[in-house]
Structure 1
Amino acid sequence: MATASVSAPPGQPDITYTPDFDKYKARTQRRLATEKLEQTLPPGFPSKLESEFVWDGDSIKESGYNWVYELSAEEIAEIEAALDQTHNGAPADVVLAHIKDLSTTADAALIGAPAYTTDKQVFHTDAGDVVALLCLQTAAEGGTSRVASNWRVYNELAATRPDLVRTLAAGWVQDGFGRPDRPYTTRPLLYHQPATSTAPERVIIQYARRSFTGFQALPRTPTIPPITEAQAEALDAVHFLAERFALGLDFQAGDVQYINNLATFHARDGFRDSPEQQRHLVRLWLRDPEYAWETPEPLKARWDELYKGVTPEKQVFPLEPKIRSASSGVAAKTVSG
């Protein structure tokens, strides 16, 4: 899909949504040669996380661990019976969206997120605690779904580039893409939660690359502060480490993925559809209040938008794919005139 050429905002590093390994390595070499980088982690941060959340694709394959759970006939019958029941009116913590290429059916000038294209979707996290993806149809070619451990990436950075851990744990200017009430927000991408009497030590990484680089119809807003060279390197480091440690999934029609969004990155290869076979997923953002991890303070406002006060009357379940307002260039075009 062709992408319009958009000038970078003043002061913005040479970085785009699509990671460039050569530029990443050149930036790393330049910074190591010309800057005095921090050699220690932020106070209290672990030098190494030890947990089942630390894994990589090779170790998963070698261990023979089976991450696929196949429903029995009895379980399928139970689910179908539940679908026949009227909802009892209790709040349901769900947000639904279709993930499908809309570049051939919608105005391409309105697409501001890779979810609605056939482009490669780089490693990122969504909003919310758990990402559930139902595969309705696979692509004619490509589109492999990939996951990677945040904690494995953290361990590598802590051991080799503690300065980038500091960068990730500092404030980042996240683009609001034309929201007049909130042109941008500032928050860390990495959060450390020390162990308590009720919870183990945790590290949470929450980020979407396009919030700092822009994507197609939603380029980086030129009137907000640019990211720094250190932040540009950190974005690439996270992506390429996640790519190195990732596991590719054989995601077939009828399969459902449940991803711990607080401990796992996910990504998608570029793909090709055909008239007969078009990649189509349905996504839910879920939360289990009983087992939920503590939400970092800077994320609570966004989490409240997803989960607080959810009622059946307020929920919308679109039957057909459409571009979410947060991923559309309409708002940005309206503000910029």
Structure 2
Amino acid sequence: MSIILKEKVKGPVAWKGTDLAKDEAWVYYLSKKTIASLENALAQVKQKGLKAPEFNKEDFPIPELTEEIAYFVEELETERGFLLIRGLPMERYTDEDVKIIYWGLGLHMGVPQSQNANGDLLGHVKDQGLSLENGNVRGYQTKLHLPFHADGSDVVGLLCLRKAISGGHSSIISSMAVYNEILEKYPEYLGILSNTFYFDRRGEEGPGESPVFSSPIFSFYNGKLSCFYVRLFIESAQAKTGIKLSKVQIEALDVLDSILHDENMHYNMMLEPGDMQFVNNYTILHSRTQYEDYEEQERKRHLLRLWLTMPNGRGISPDFGVGSIPSRSKTSGGLIETLK
């Protein structure tokens, strides 16, 4: 069992939704200079005949943005734990152009990681008409509501190419603020939430691998608290292990969910075309509302996704995400194949 942190997490990372609603300082608007730098790098990539994700960061030079990149990286690990970058003039670009810009920016922020068993580095979040009742389907392949969860990397990024007809709001919550609420009101459950749970791999296991892995939900290690949570995967793991959740485990998960559903705790936003959202998976849980989509494929809601291992990524406890993605060699980055 992990060490239990017995004091509240302090600092900007432990924000509440009501805090974000009062001040939009967390929205970063791209300047004309920044856009010009990105477009210059885009032109160089296209001149070489390259496409995303088939080039490296040397092919996408943005030396003028060194300070901005450093700000993004630090904001994700040591400050609020998320970014919303806005202002990309989408009317100027094709979808391929946007992929190049997004992939290029991601290369300068961190190291892209595989998002599934197919090894996809640049993911596509788009409804495929599938259902989560199928144990091998993941949420990004549907238009269903996705409960709060974390993804399998230091940071997950989303860029909106197109919105749905309605719905599809992105919700984020500070798992650090959630921990503070549990510590204050329900401390008797912290031991349970700091112990290991089994998580379903949802068909993403490799040859000879177990269809489940184990991890605590909260882990305090090297002075930092980290969180990983996907209730659907905890519940579906029971059929594969034959081990039922105990009454007290279910109570602890219900308490956690009750805080996640508190409207004062989370914040909802609509990602507009060109918006880029990045979140630290160890300190932020994210969700998505169900949406109504267009029939035409070219108009459907479509987001690009990156999973990044960060240069300043925290160390994680050896029992946090045990047996998750075998290709992860960096101990401070990348945990688990998940819902989104």
Q: TM-score, normalised by structure 2?
A: 0.67
Measure the CA separation in 1 of the matches of 2:183 and 2:143. Answer: 34
AA aligned opposite 2:256: V
| 1:11-22 equivalence runs, <5 A | none
1:105-129 CA deviation, whole Å, 9 max, x = no partner?
A: x998576222221211000100111
Secondary structure of the 1:146 match is: strand
Task: Identify the residue that residue 224 of structure 1 maps to in structure 2.
Answer: 242
Equivalent of 1:235 in 237, 250, 253? 253
Alpha-carbon deviation of 1:55? Answer: 0.9
AA aligned opposite 1:253: P
Measure the CA separation in 1 of the matches of 2:256 and 2:142. Answer: 23
1:15-40 CA deviation, whole Å, 9 max, x = no partner?
A: xxxxxxxxxxxxxxxxxxxxxxxxxx
Alpha-carbon deviation of 1:47? Answer: 2.8
Contact 1:137 1:278 in 2 (8 A): yes
Alpha-carbon deviation of 1:223? Answer: 4.4
Task: Identify the residue that residue 15 of structure 2 maps to in structure 1.
Answer: 55
AA aligned opposite 2:191: R
Task: Identify the residue that residue 270 of structure 1 maps to in structure 2.
Answer: 290
Could you tell which deviates more after superposition, 114-123 or 272-281?
272-281
Measure the CA separation in 1 of the matches of 2:152 and 2:275. Answer: 22
Structure 1 residues 203 and 109, CA, compared in 2 at 3 Å: closer, same or farther?
Answer: closer
Structure 2: gaps (5+ residues) = 46-54, 60-106, 114-120, 331-336
1:271-325 CA deviation, whole Å, 9 max, x = no partner?
A: 1112254221111111222x211122233754662465xxxxxxxxxxxxxxxx9
Contact 1:128 1:303 in 2 (8 A): no
| 1:1-337 equivalence runs, <5 A | 45-62=5-22, 64-83=23-42, 84-85=44-45, 87=56, 88=58, 92-94=111-113, 95-103=121-129, 112-177=137-202, 179=205, 180-195=208-223, 202-214=224-236, 220-244=238-262, 245-275=265-295, 277-289=299-311, 291-298=312-319, 299=321, 302=324, 305-306=327-328
1:145-180 CA deviation, whole Å, 9 max, x = no partner?
A: 000001110001011111221111012122244645
Q: Which has the higher contact order (CA 8 A, sep 6+)?
A: 1
Secondary structure of the 2:253 match is: helix
Secondary structure of the 2:327 match is: helix
AA aligned opposite 1:101: D
1:63-111 CA deviation, whole Å, 9 max, x = no partner?
A: x24221111122112123323345349994343221111117x998576
Measure the CA separation in 2 of the matches of 1:43 and 1:127. Answer: 22
Structure 1 residues 67 and 233, CA, compared in 2 at 3 Å: closer, same or farther?
Answer: same
Measure the CA separation in 1 of the matches of 2:21 and 2:338. Answer: 37
Secondary structure of the 1:296 match is: coil
Contact 1:148 1:243 in 2 (8 A): no
Structure 1: gaps (5+ residues) = 1-41, 196-201, 309-324, 328-337
Alpha-carbon deviation of 1:213? Answer: 2.0
Contact 2:132 2:138 in 1 (8 A): no
Secondary structure of the 1:248 match is: strand
Structure 1 residues 185 and 224, CA, compared in 2 at 3 Å: closer, same or farther?
Answer: farther
Structure 1 residues 326 and 167, CA, compared in 2 at 3 Å: closer, same or farther?
Answer: closer
Alpha-carbon deviation of 1:248? Answer: 0.7
Q: TM-score, normalised by structure 1?
A: 0.68
Q: Which has the larger radius of gyration?
A: 1
Contact 2:222 2:315 in 1 (8 A): no
Could you tell which deviates more after superposition, 129-138 or 181-190?
181-190
AA aligned opposite 2:193: L
Secondary structure of the 2:239 match is: coil
Secondary structure of the 2:255 match is: helix
1:158-208 CA deviation, whole Å, 9 max, x = no partner?
A: 11111221111012122244645213223212101253xxxxxx2111122
Structure 1 residues 107 and 236, CA, compared in 2 at 3 Å: closer, same or farther?
Answer: closer
Task: Identify the residue that residue 48 of structure 2 maps to in structure 1.
Answer: none
Alpha-carbon deviation of 1:134? Answer: 0.6
Contact 1:122 1:239 in 2 (8 A): no
Contact 1:93 1:307 in 2 (8 A): no
